[in-house]
A and B are shown apart, each in its own frame.
Chain A
């Protein structure tokens, strides 16, 4: 929750809440259970009610400094201690430290005879005493419905229960009351009548022989809460609720790009590759090289010194390593260096929720910067399409929050007209690469294109995708008269064009020589014309000078004559 919304909320007095400390639950209930009020947890046998309440108490005692009283009507204190020891809760120690008090209330019908009027003051006193000695803030009554089987006077019992819940509210303790799910009602004895503040339903569903636990907040008076069914898990760390999606999309984004491991593919993606923290889907029909693309991405990630987690559902790690070796990628060295980790399991090993949890645990443990799931298609065998989609949404959410890049591969049905993948995840991913068969002239080639890539210029071209001993490479597709050419027809076209080039070159040089010759002829002509022009100019000049000279001589002669005439005078 951001500080902004918190300050907004504190302006109005809002319902105080007691945090449960159960992973994910505090998130969907916006802070926990209603503080100082009773909450009903109902569900069928084995749905995790007792464990849920026990976690609430233990977390309260250890994390939130709220001691608690556990009143067990079904299990003995020793049994409870033993049962939760597997989760690492040391109830004995907690009892010694006066943080938790276990009280087993044993109601045995055969030992009890009822005669006349009575009330349950004894229970009140017992509980009150336990609460007061510990200063308890939390109380669990598990399962108070057992009283109904031990005592016969329903009228007294119901009146007393109502009084008990009012009394607990007055005491200001946060209470969990568990109840067995009944036919057509939330609890067998209609406890929901008495507890009206918060009701949480736990369920346990088996679909296709694989079970999923589900939690739903049926009612939460005075508070916003998630209303969905949330799958949850019980494992050696207790209960974890996995919200389908976090309610908002607020994760950090990175503009850093990381290489795909195939330089020519990088160039299709704005010359750089995928965004860090993005999600990439590689889909295609069988045998189009999806795993090779994934392997090459893993290879390049490890070469850059980053960690990569490879979750394989179809092939064993050994198989992938061998196969990638055949196309020139040595993954074993990365494993030896601790940069690459394989986690191979059949999808049917456990349900989707367990898968998700094991992914998340692996990621938390290994801290990779890239996660690869190869292929997600197989997950459909253990869940419905929408469940797989949910799982992937949550996984993407989780990974994006940690700035981890994730690549999925998915098998599309052979030549299906739509490019939609079975899992309907294409809308979730940031980058979608499509590999498909191009079958022409009796051979099968692979074509690859970028269906989408959010936030970057990407090529609109279909490239031929070649897997060779040197690795993966994309080749420009040739456009011939009969359309797109791939494989050997592309090579034929290439040869054809090369021949053409040579011929063209030849033709070009012949033309050059011709022009050169013409130029020489013309130049010769120009020089002869120039000489002719010069001789004509000379001729003109000579005539002019002669005329000048003649004029001069005549003038002299005239002067001479004049002088002679004068002297003779």
Chain B
């Protein structure tokens, strides 16, 4: 089902260096290294610097992780402390099972 050549484009929205944002980024890096080695790009958007970007991705909550590619678009909000949920949300878990 999933093409292995897919690159996971991930965007993490934060607002300054709050503890939650720092935790979220740390967790995200860890999961990606573990499950998506060399197949991911993480872009961190600080809304305090670029507030106009909040509208485009419909950001309400902070932190929010947006997976744009591969489809479908998914959003994961929170500090990403629950690994299971994050992996399901990023469509990593099912893809792994098929392999």
Contacts and interface: CB of A to CB of B under 8 A. Distances in A.
A117 B78 contact: yes
Interface in B44-90: 47-48, 51-52, 54-55, 58-64, 72-82, 85-86, 88-89
Given A111-B73, A123-B60, A126-B54, A116 B80 contact: yes
Nearest to B72: A111
A105 B77 CA distance: 16
Contacts of B88: 113
Nearest to B51: A129
A263 interface: no
B41 to A, nearest CB: 20
Interface in B17-35: 20, 23-24
Contacts, number: 98
Contacts of A114: 76-78, 85
A568 B54 CA distance: 185
Contacts of A129: 51-52, 54
A481 interface: no
A445 B45 CA distance: 92
A101 B11 CA distance: 26
A105 B47 CA distance: 16
Given A103-B55, A125-B51, A126-B54, A115 B61 contact: no
A330 B82 CA distance: 89
Given A113-B74, A113-B89, A119 B62 contact: yes
A126 B61 contact: no
Interface of B: 13, 15, 20, 23-24, 47-48, 51-52, 54-55, 58-64, 72-82, 85-86, 88-89
Given A113-B89, A126-B51, A129-B52, A119 B74 contact: no
29 contacts: A103-B55, A106-B58, A111-B75, A112-B76, A114-B77, A115-B77, A115-B80, A116-B23, A116-B78, A116-B81, A117-B81, A118-B20, A118-B61, A118-B62, A118-B77, A118-B79, A121-B47, A122-B13, A122-B15, A122-B47, A122-B61, A125-B62, A126-B54, A126-B55, A129-B51, A147-B60, A151-B60, A151-B61, A151-B77
A116 B82 contact: yes
A122 B64 contact: yes
Contacts of B54: 122, 125-126, 129
A120 interface: yes
Interface string A111-154: 11111111111110110110000000000000000010001000
**Which 6 pairs of residues, A with B, have the shortest CB-CB distance?**
A129-B51, A116-B81, A116-B78, A113-B89, A122-B59, A121-B62
A116 B58 contact: no
B97 to A, nearest CB: 18
Interface in A87-111: 103, 105-107, 111
Contacts of B80: 115-116
Contacts of A125: 15, 47-48, 51, 54, 59, 62
A120 B74 contact: no
B12 to A, nearest CB: 12
Nearest to B15: A121
A152 to B, nearest CB: 10
A107 B59 CA distance: 9
Contact of A115 (B51, B59, B82): B82
B44 to A, nearest CB: 14
Contacts of A120: 60-62
Contacts of B76: 112-115
B8 to A, nearest CB: 15
Nearest to B76: A113
Contacts of A113: 74-77, 85-86, 88-89
Contact of B62 (A103, A111, A116, A122): A122
A118 B15 CA distance: 11
A230 to B, nearest CB: 36
B84 to A, nearest CB: 9
A118 B51 CA distance: 18
Nearest to B58: A106
A115 B75 contact: no
A122 B55 CA distance: 9
A103 B51 CA distance: 13
Interface in A281-308: none
A303 to B, nearest CB: 67
Contacts of A107: 58, 60
Given A119-B20, A122-B15, A122-B54, A105 B60 contact: yes
A84 B86 CA distance: 41
A387 B41 CA distance: 68
Given A121-B15, A126-B55, A115 B81 contact: yes
Contacts of A118: 20, 61-64, 77-79
A434 B58 CA distance: 70
B32 to A, nearest CB: 15
B86 A115 contact: yes
Contacts of A106: 58
B79 A116 contact: yes
B61 A105 contact: no
B22 to A, nearest CB: 12
